[in-house]
Amino acid sequence: MQRRRTGMIALAVAMGMTAILGGCGSTGSSGVTLRLVAADYGDSAANSSKKYWDRLAQEYESAHPGVKVQVSVYSWNDVDRKVKQMADAGDPPDIAQIGAYADYAAKGLLYKADDVLSIPVQADFLGQLSDAGQVRHVQYGIPFAASTRVLFYNKTLFAKANLTPPTTWAELASDAAALKARGVKYPYALPLGPEEAQAETMQWLLGGGSGYTDDIGTYTIDSAQNVETFTWLRDELVGKGLTGPVAPGRLNRADAFDAFARGEVGMLNGHPTLMQQADRKGVKFGMVPMPGRNGTPKSTMGVADWMMAFKKSGHRDQIGDFLDFVYSEKNVLAFSREHDLLPVTGSASDAMNAAEQDKALRPFLSELPLAQLYPVGKTSWAQVSADLKKRIGRAVAPDGSPAAVLGQLQATATAADSAENAK
């Protein structure tokens, strides 16, 4: 069936405007309301993502009088659950921007990416991110924002203790001990709380030489290397009081970032948005690759968050036209700069690499092509990730058993994977 994209592409090419397809013209519909649920990347009301989406919605509506865009923004603690509740009730939003897509794709709830996106927009995505958005070689997940991780350290605290940034786990533990001796509240902040424990966990697993899956995509959560990694964390960091007054299983990423911005943290694993937060508070910080067991790991962790289009409302054309607008170079750059995130399109990445105002992000941009992402294409990942958020903190508790906790997580993952493959 021919789509409205065919005519739009021809018009856009003729006008030399393929990068801004979504902003030129109307879909010809009337009385359509698109419901968008999105995650909040801000750390306060002042820079809440709701401001960005409200501004974008108003701009789009002014050019498309027949379409309203109703925006709901939730914290990362709540947004995935909110969308799941809506989908389970049979009333999903038209568009969701959250952390995982594959389970919805497996249930047949989503449009394929090429059902809704114009060809130029699809072609502009970074290749490894488009690949990560596939389930059984069909793309449903549309990358929205990306980041990589580095070790942030407080330059002032390090200078007072005559420390240099660590390159190995042993050096990290030694630096943390020196910071503790000088009264630093969180020598190393280890957020394994429910907000984003899967990210901190993955970075440590990669540093230990393993990960969530092997090279062919089979879960290896309880591998010997991973058990060794969490045993080291329990014994050499948590057990020696080097991770601060809040138990890692109760420390969320946002709280760890807030503590870093207050000058209470010596080191932590952070993504680009922490730069802005620390700058606002006047914290002098440095950034180096996250140490591995014996040096810099061969892979760093990359994270991509996802946009998806639900089929229930039948608003395919309107959804596609709005998403073309969202993914214009101008809008991708605006969001990335607002929250110090990495753009997911080649055009915006090139623009950011060339712009002097974005030079602080270049270390993260250079890491992205080789970064290892979560196994988001597995429909089991959402369940595995949710289970991990609940359990992983127990692995580093003083009386915790890394082997037992990782074994339980592996059992969940294996069962979920088997159920997926049986479909």
Phi, psi of 276 (to 5 degrees): -65, -45
Q: Look up residue 264 and give its two tokens.
A: 């209470």
Burial of 395 (0-12, 13-18, 19+ CB in 10 A): buried
| pLDDT tens digit at each of 423 positions of the chain | 333 333 333 333 333 333 333 444 444 456 899 999 999 998 778 889 999 999 999 999 999 999 999 999 999 889 999 999 999 999 999 999 998 899 899 899 999 999 999 999 999 999 889 999 998 889 999 999 999 999 999 999 999 999 999 999 999 999 999 999 999 999 999 999 999 999 999 999 999 999 999 988 899 999 999 999 999 999 999 999 999 999 999 999 999 999 999 999 999 999 888 998 999 999 999 999 999 999 988 778 998 999 999 999 999 999 999 999 999 999 999 999 998 899 999 999 999 999 999 998 988 888 887 788 999 888 888 889 999 999 999 999 999 999 999 999 999 999 988 876 766
| Confidence (pLDDT) at 230 | 98
| Confidence (pLDDT) at 379 | 83
CA distance linking residue 129 with residue 277, whole number of Å: 27
Report DSSP letters for 276-325, one per residue.
HHHHHTT--EEEEPPPBSSSS-S--BEEEEEEEEBSTT--HHHHHHHHHH
| Confidence (pLDDT) at 20 | 38
- With beta carbons less than 8 A apart as the criterion, state whether 257 and 277 touch: yes
| Confidence (pLDDT) at 419 | 78
**For the chain, how far is it from start to end, CA to CA, in angstroms?**
28
Nearest to 72 by CA among 82, 81, 64, 61: 82
DSSP 236: I
